[in-house]
Amino acid sequence: MRTIHFADANGRDSHVSFVTVRAPAPPLRVAAGKLVAMRRFVVAGEDNTHEALAVGHGSDYGKALIEGDPEVDLELVGRPITTTSMVYLDGDGEVLRFAPEIFEAIYGPDGAEKERRPPQDKPPNIDEEIPLRFTKNRLKRAAAVRRFAFLRSIQLWHTDGLTYDFLHGLAKSLDEADELVLLGGGESGRDPIVFQTNGLPWRGFLEGRVDGVKYQLLLRLSNLELKKSDA
C-alpha cells in the first residue's frame, strides 16, 4: 500500500496509507438472457476509403457504388480484429519508421503557444521529505462540485491509533465546516500533486465525512476547472 506525506493547518505531519476509490461496476448489458460482449471487426481496407475510391472512380462515384459496390472488400470486411499494434503517422498519413522527436508545448491562458522545449522529467511529490500542506483555499462542498471536475478520488487510511486520531480529527473538522481544503506541494505549498514520475499534475481537495467513530478522509483530484464562457 502506498503512502502520502502531508501536514495539516497546524503543521502536524504524518505519512499515511492510501488506496484508490473505485467506481462501482456499471450495470451488465444483457440481451435474450445472455451477456452482451463487444467485438471489433474490419469494416474497410486501404483500397476502400473515400480517398482511394475518389482516385479510382472520380470524386462523384455514387453510380459506381450502386453498380459495383467498390467500397466493399468481401475478402476483408467482417474479419474479427484480435490484437493490434500502435503506429505513428506523419501529416500525410504515412507510417513513421522511426520514433518521432517529442517536444513540450507551453500555452498561455489565451491559448497562444509561448514556448516549445524538450520534455522535462517531473518527479513525484506525494511522499517526499517536504509534506503536502494545507493551503488557505477552502471551498464549500456544494461550490466545489460546481467549480471543478473531480476525475479521481483516493481514501486515506490509518494504520495505528495515532494516525486514526490524526485522520479522524481532520475528517471531523472538515465535515463540520462542510468544506474541502486544497493541498499544495513544494516549498511554497503551491505546486500541484504528482503521484509518479512524469504523471499528471493534480489539484487535491481534502474532504472529510464522520459517523461517530467511523470516518472517511478523501482526497478529491481534479485537473479541470469549470469556467463560465464569455460567449
pTM of the full predicted structure? Answer: 0.70
- 93-119 per-position pLDDT tens digit: 888 888 778 888 888 878 889 999 988
Q: Please name the residue that has the C-alpha cell 460546481.
A: 146
Return the ∠ at Cα 12 (arms to 8 and 15), rounded to 5°: 90
Domains and their CATH numbers in the chain: 3-23+122-225 (2.40.290), 43-75 (no CATH)
SS3 224: strand
Asked whether the beta carbons of 193 and 203 are under 8 A apart, the reply is yes
SS3 181: strand
CA–CA separation, 3 and 6 (whole Å)? 10
Element (H, E) at 144: helix 141-147
Residues counted in the chain? 231
Which whole number is the average pLDDT over 200-207? Answer: 95
Q: What is the pLDDT of residue 83?
A: 86
Helix-then-strand count for the chain, H and E: 4, 11
- 134-147 per-position pLDDT tens digit: 999 999 999 999 99
SS3 62: helix
Per-residue pLDDT at 231 exceeds 70: no
Q: How far apart are the first and last CA of the chain?
A: 47
**Can you read off the three cell numbers belonging to residue 36?**
452482451
CA–CA separation, 100 and 109 (whole Å)? 28
CA–CA separation, 121 and 123 (whole Å)? 6
pLDDT band at 128 (very low <50, low <70, confident <90, very high): very high
pLDDT band at 38 (very low <50, low <70, confident <90, very high): confident
Share in percent of the chain as helix, strand, coil (round to 5): 15, 35, 50
CB crowding 105-121: b at 16 or more within 10 Å, else e:
eeeeeeeeeeeeeeeee
CA–CA separation, 87 and 64 (whole Å)? 32
